[in-house]
Amino acid sequence: MPVIKFFRPARPHRPLGLGDLFVLLFVSVLIYAGVRLAFRAPAYVQGPTISLSPAALPWYAFLSTVRMLAAYVLSLSFSLFYGYRAARSRYAEIVFLPILDVLQSVPILSFLPVAVLALTAFLPERVGVELAAIFLIFTSQAWNLTFAWYQSLITVPAELREASAIFRLRSYLRFRFLELPFAAIHLIWNSMMSWAGGWFFLMASEMFTVGTRDYRLPGLGSYLQEAAYLGDTRALAWGLVTLIALIVLLDQLVWRPLLAWAERFKLEMVESEGKTSSWFYQLLKGSYLWAALWRRVLGPLDQRLLSWALRKSAGPEKESKKHARWGSYALIGVLGGALVLGGVWAARFLFSLPASAWIPIAEGAGATALRVALALFLSALWTIPVGLLVGLNPRAASWIQPVVQIAASIPATALFPVLVMGLVHLPGGLNLAAVLLMLTGSQWYILFNAIAGARAIPQDLKYTARLMGLSPWQRWRILYLPALFPYLVTGAITASGGAWNASIVAEYVTFGGRTLYTVGLGAIIAQATEEGNYPLLFAATLTMIFIVVVINRFLWRRLYRVAEERFKLE
Amino acid sequence: MAEHLLELRKVSQVYRSGEREFFALKDVDLALDEGEFVVLLGPSGCGKSTLLRIATGLQRPTSGEVLYRGEPLRGVNPKATIVFQTFALFPWLTVLENVEVALAARGVAPEERRRRALEMLDRVGLDGFEEAYPRELSGGMRQKVGFARAMVVEPELLCLDEPFSALDVLSAAALRGELLELWLGGKIPTKAILMVTHNIEEAVLLGDRLLIMEKDPGRIVAEIRVAIPHPRQPQAPDFRAMVDEVYALLAGETQPEPVELGSAPGEPGRIRALPNVPVVSMAGLLEALAATPGGRQDLYKLASELQVDSDQLLRIVEALELLGFVTVAKGDVALTPLGETFAEAGILARKEIFASRIRRIPIFRWLLELLEAAEGGKLRGEVVQRALELQFPPAEAEKQFGVIVNWGRYAELFAYDDTSDVLYLETVPAQSK
């Protein structure tokens, strides 16, 4: 299993560069525009009726999958385009990468309310909410895909690049024979990660309700929420089973076959063991239908594209043109102007908020940060020993791993209604539920990374530790923890991002007509949305984004660098 | 005079780093005619691979002209192909597809493609392996695919970028023979071959004309015609004489000490780059020399005795020369009394001798003065690297820093803490000068 790596810090020297500030300004202006639109959002939104009959489940599952698919297609197209531009640009390091880096650390759910409000303001309600959901999933899927594609493009081995140039592989040929194959494994793994992450946000947006505005969408998320609200455990079970079945099915019928197929794109020049196998791929490979599809449709299409590309790139290589320069200057000018103007407006809007309003924001931020820290700590507490146990014992791994994978595949947000249902009557119930939700969302990242880290400990070192007669505690201190450290940091970075996200849905719940909330930044965002207090919504959303970006830059990135430099086992 | 097939006029490649300019290549003139097999030979870092990339149009020189059949070259030369040191095969394509893709890019129709690819694979002896993936083949077989792919498009100019240096000795020998057979037998429509190598024997075995290159800045310093008829016998006296001659050219002559040592950073004059050689290799070579009668040996004989490649041997010799342990003249290397003492000394005595020698090297003298002047005898490694970057390109500066730390640690002149990036004096050093 590969290390799960959503987060790939770029390597600027300063923690927060000028580029980052620009991106943050850009995001702020965007959110400001959303908030302005929100003024016109309808005050009352009638939600869909959700049928709890198990017979309705296939339809809901289909709807959810289509939303995911739409977002994924959007993400992939964006990634291919953006990655290409970034890889070709001289400004990649100063413009394209900081943008991605900030965007990937922005807590996505924090702008769910803004997105929903803004889109329903000028679109028919249902369309607006659908688009908001797709947009949200897109923002969760796109960045790591883009990073994967960009990384692949710039790490294509120099000799293969030169060989392509000398043998005149250009445009489609280069894409088809060099870049896509080289990136394939990376792209597929990251697509799987994107889908796994996407479910989390799909569930959250399908069940999103604020006060009198019911933004729910017919799908698995709203089904689960409705079932929990009505206390219908049977429906709840049906819903969860359907969700898990859907995820397992996609894994078996789509991702595994793709991975098995992608084995051929491994760059290493030695025959490797432990190939991914897939029964479905074997089945397909032998089937008549598949062969026919290749011969009749895909093969000729490929040939067509080849000759089109050849005709287009015939003749000597074109020298790079410079005429685009004035155009891009103009574009930069217009964008810069809009940014400055928007920034001024956004600042004015922000200052319309009384100074006293910042006190609860600060308190809320502190409370949420504490919850995130607690959730991470609890996750680490159980995942590190279990991860080591699994990683060091292949036999334990063979049965624990599948169980863990199934458990991890359930998006935390799908379980949330269940958690709330169970805990709501306890004192401090929502507080507890919020930490638990963060925990369910974040623990798997740490666990999987701990397992991968434990597996990567070289056998020689394990033998040496035994030969030296190190006590169990010494082994932990001298071998296991340092060896795991880089993996744990990688896991914790993603986990912390997930936990911040969860706060939006966890701290403020409209449940069966009742509104439950606890102190927290997420609660303030949701509350401001409900009350139509848009300056507060804007301020709180910005605060959360800034906090998370700053934590990423000043804490996680530093740890990551220490991990890379000192604890990497070569 | 008829126009040349390929001609490079006053080609320079400059890298800018901050204010400074570094010449990877300076004013290189080169002409290649039909029927010629020309070899570019030089130490690593002399820019010979860069020159090959410029000659094929993969890279554009900072200044100078590249003419192909009298026409200035624009973009990649469609009449040239390269066989790469690392094979550069697409691992996801089969042997056949790897060869075919070169034809596909030239718009050859699918059936024709297959026919020509199969024929070429047959010619290089790869029939039976068409459907294999590169990873299933040995290094030698992979390079055959590399040759097949380069030759299937019938290039006029075939460029070889150290094509045999990643292969084991036996495969390399076999492949060289097969290349000569195709080339001399006129079985390929190739008009000329331009090869880059650092292997002296290989150059003499294959080339009609050898262009000897030097580094800092990269340039061509000598040209040798190899008039020995094919098939050439590596053991024959005329062959060995030629190898000896090339060694003599590449190794140079030991200069008087001030010239050898160069100047310190910040002083006027040329600063000498330290050869990147571990101390253990130096000791090994000195011991081998001490074991030969008279402490003197031909470089080419030493290379074959010790089984090291010529590039590596020359680098070790350069380091030993700099330290005053050996002298080089006319392709012979001779132990100095100091070198003899070192070879016979024990572990600790060796360290002392080594320390006393590197103290004389300006770059170490400079660094020690800096350290003594620094507060607490401590200095950030970064500071030293910045200073070195004023003299060397950044990548080279990093390498130089590595060598300095390596040698200095061995000599116990100073210590270096990698985690905090601090150089510090271990003991109070003896008063210098």
**Which candidate from B58, B86, B104 shows the least CB-CB separation from A165?**
B58
Q: Is B226 left (phi over 0), alpha (psi -120 to 50) or beta?
A: beta
Question: Which runs of consecutive H residues, i.e. helices, occur in A39-124?
Answer: 57-88, 97-105, 112-122
Q: What is the pLDDT of residue A72?
A: 95
Q: Is A318 left (phi over 0), alpha (psi -120 to 50) or beta?
A: beta
Q: What is the pTM of this model?
A: 0.80
**How far is B227 from B204, CA to CA, in rounded Å?**
10
Q: What is the pLDDT of residue A323?
A: 53
**How far is A227 from A52, CA to CA, in rounded Å?**
7
On chain A, the residues whose CB falls within 8 A of the CB of B74 are 316-317, 319
**How far is B345 from A330, CA to CA, in rounded Å?**
73
**Which candidate from B105, B134, B135 shows the least CB-CB separation from A168?**
B105
A29 Cβ contact partners less than 8 Å away, ≥ 6 residues apart: A338, A339, A342, A343, A346
Q: Give yes or no for B419 touching A (CB within 8 A).
A: yes
Q: Which one of B90, B100, B113 would you mutate to disrupt binding with A, by most A Cβ within 10 Å of its Cβ?
A: B90
Burial of A128 (0-12, 13-18, 19+ CB in 10 A): buried
Question: Which runs of consecutive H residues, i.e. helices, occur in A111-157?
Answer: 112-122, 125-155
Q: What is the pLDDT of residue B303?
A: 87
Cβ–Cβ below 8 Å for B90 and A264: no
- Number of Cβ within 10 Å of residue A212's Cβ equals 12
The CATH code of domain A18-278+350-566 reads: 1.10.3720.10
Domain extent listing, chain A: 18-278+350-566
The end-to-end CA distance of chain B, in Å, is 62
Q: What is the pLDDT of residue B230?
A: 86
**Which candidate from B81, B86, B153 shows the least CB-CB separation from A159?**
B86
Q: What is the pLDDT of residue A570?
A: 57
Q: pLDDT, tens digit, for every residue of B83-101?
A: 999 888 998 889 999 999 8
Q: pLDDT, tens digit, for every residue of B10-28?
A: 999 998 877 778 888 999 9
Three-state DSSP at B412 gives coil
**How far is A527 from A508, CA to CA, in rounded Å?**
8
Q: What is the pLDDT of residue A325?
A: 66
CA–CA min distance B135, chain A (Å): 4
**Which candidate from B74, B90, B107 shows the least CB-CB separation from A177?**
B90
**Are A200 and A413 in contact, with CB atoms under 8 Å apart?**
yes
**Which candidate from B58, B87, B142 shows the least CB-CB separation from A166?**
B58
pLDDT in tens, chain A (570 residues): 333 444 444 444 455 667 777 778 888 888 888 888 887 777 777 778 888 888 889 999 999 999 999 999 999 999 999 888 888 877 766 677 777 877 777 777 777 888 888 888 888 888 888 998 999 889 888 888 888 888 888 888 888 999 998 888 888 888 888 999 988 888 888 888 888 888 888 888 888 887 778 888 999 988 988 888 888 889 989 999 999 999 889 988 888 888 888 887 876 655 555 566 778 887 877 777 777 777 777 778 887 887 787 777 665 555 455 555 677 778 878 888 888 888 888 888 888 888 888 899 999 999 999 999 999 999 999 999 988 888 888 787 778 777 887 787 788 888 888 887 777 777 777 888 888 888 887 888 888 888 888 888 888 888 888 888 888 888 888 888 888 888 888 888 888 888 888 888 788 877 666 777 888 998 898 888 888 888 888 898 889 888 888 888 888 888 888 887 777 665
The residue type found at A179 is: E
Burial of B117 (0-12, 13-18, 19+ CB in 10 A): buried
**How far is B214 from A87, CA to CA, in rounded Å?**
35
Q: What is the pLDDT of residue B11?
A: 93
Average pLDDT (B321-344) is: 91
CA–CA min distance B129, chain A (Å): 16
Cβ–Cβ below 8 Å for A168 and B78: yes
Q: pLDDT, tens digit, for every residue of B350-382?
A: 999 999 999 999 999 999 998 888 888 888 988
On chain A, the residues whose CB falls within 8 A of the CB of B84 are 159, 162-163
For residue B161, give Cα distances in angstroms to B51, B181, B254, B342. Answer: 10, 19, 31, 39
On chain B, the residues whose CB falls within 8 A of the CB of A168 are 76, 78, 105-106
On chain A, the residues whose CB falls within 8 A of the CB of B160 are none
Cβ–Cβ below 8 Å for A159 and B105: no
Q: What is the pLDDT of residue B40?
A: 94
- Number of Cβ within 10 Å of residue A353's Cβ equals 17
Q: For the CA atoms of A13, A17, A23, A27, what is the dihedral angle to 10 degrees?
A: 110
In 3D space, the residue among A523, A532, A486 whose CA is nearest the CA of residue A110 turns out to be: A523
Q: Is the dihedral of CA B16, B17, B20, B23 positive or negative?
A: negative
Return the minimum-mean-pLDDT range out of A247-256, A549-558, B122-131, B272-281.
A549-558
Bond from prior residue into B231 cis (ω within 30 degrees of 0) = yes
Cβ–Cβ below 8 Å for A181 and B92: yes
Q: Say if residue B170's pLDDT is above 80.
A: yes
* Residues on A contacting B at a C-beta cutoff of 8 Å: 157, 159-160, 162-163, 165-170, 173, 177-178, 181, 264-271, 303, 306-307, 310, 314, 316-319, 566
Q: pLDDT, tens digit, for every residue of B201-257?
A: 999 999 999 999 988 888 999 999 999 998 899 889 999 999 999 998 888 888 887
CA–CA min distance B394, chain A (Å): 17
Q: Which one of A152, A156, A164, A166 would you mutate to disrupt binding with B, by most B Cβ within 10 Å of its Cβ?
A: A166
Q: What is the ipTM of this complex?
A: 0.79
Gyration radius of chain B's alpha carbons? 24
Q: What is the pLDDT of residue A280?
A: 80
Which neighbouring-strand residues pair with B16?
B21
Q: Give yes or no for B242 touching A (CB within 8 A).
A: no
The residue type found at A282 is: Q
Q: Say if residue B428's pLDDT is above 60.
A: no
**Edge-to-edge, what's the strand order for the sheet holding B209-214?**
B80-83, B157-161, B192-197, B37-41, B209-214, B219-225
Instruction: Tell me the range of B40-49, B398-407, B422-431 where mean pLDDT is highest.
Output: B398-407
CA angle B311, B315, B316 (to 5 degrees): 120
**How far is B335 from B263, CA to CA, in rounded Å?**
25
Q: In terms of CA atoms, which chain B residue is nearest residue A167?
A: B102
**How far is B35 from B209, CA to CA, in rounded Å?**
11
Bond from prior residue into B217 cis (ω within 30 degrees of 0) = yes
**Which candidate from A167, A269, A318 shows the least CB-CB separation from B91?**
A269
Cβ–Cβ below 8 Å for B101 and A167: yes
On chain A, the residues whose CB falls within 8 A of the CB of B104 are 173, 306
CA–CA min distance A187, chain B (Å): 16
CA–CA min distance B74, chain A (Å): 7
Q: Give yes or no for B136 touching A (CB within 8 A).
A: yes
On chain B, the residues whose CB falls within 8 A of the CB of A160 are 88, 90
Cβ–Cβ below 8 Å for B92 and A173: no
**How far is B138 from B175, CA to CA, in rounded Å?**
13
